[in-house]
Amino acid sequence: MTALPVGPLPVGPTVDATPRPLPPRVALRGTHVHLEPLHPRHAPDLWRAAEGGTTHGDASWAYMGYGPFPSEDALARFVADFSTQQDVVAWAVRPVATGTVTGWLALMSIEPKHAAIELGNIWFGPAMQRTRAATEAMFLPLRHAADDLGYRRLVWKCNALNAPSRRAAERLGFTFEGVHRAHMVVKGRRRDTAWFSILDDEWPPVRDAILAWLDPANFAPDGTAKQGLAELRTAISAR
Please indicate, yes or no, if residue 218 is contained in any of the structural domains: no
Q: How far is CA 149 from CA 19, 110, 141, 173, 221, in A?
A: 10, 12, 10, 20, 37
* More confident of the two residues 238 and 39: 39
Interstrand relation of 153-159 and 116-124 (parallel, antiparallel or unpaired): parallel
CA distance 82 to 66: 11
Q: Give residue 53's pLDDT.
A: 45
Residues ≥6 apart with Cβ < 8 Å to 237: 205
Please indicate, yes or no, if residue 233 is contained in any of the structural domains: no
Q: Give residue 3's pLDDT.
A: 66
Please indicate, yes or no, if residue 51 is contained in any of the structural domains: yes
Please indicate, yes or no, if residue 35 is contained in any of the structural domains: yes
Please indicate, yes or no, if residue 121 is contained in any of the structural domains: yes
Please indicate, yes or no, if residue 227 is contained in any of the structural domains: no
Q: How many domains does the chain have?
A: 1
Question: What integer best gives the mean pLDDT of the chain?
Answer: 94
CA-based nearest residue to 118, from 97, 134, 101, 141: 141
User: What percent of the chain lies above the pLDDT cut of 70?
Assistant: 95
Please indicate, yes or no, if residue 84 is contained in any of the structural domains: yes
Q: Which domain holds residue 106?
A: 28-200
Q: Give residue 187's pLDDT.
A: 95
Segment 160-216, tens digit of pLDDT: 999 999 999 999 999 999 999 999 999 999 999 999 999 999 999 999 999 999 999
* CATH number of the domain that residue 38 is part of: 3.40.630.30
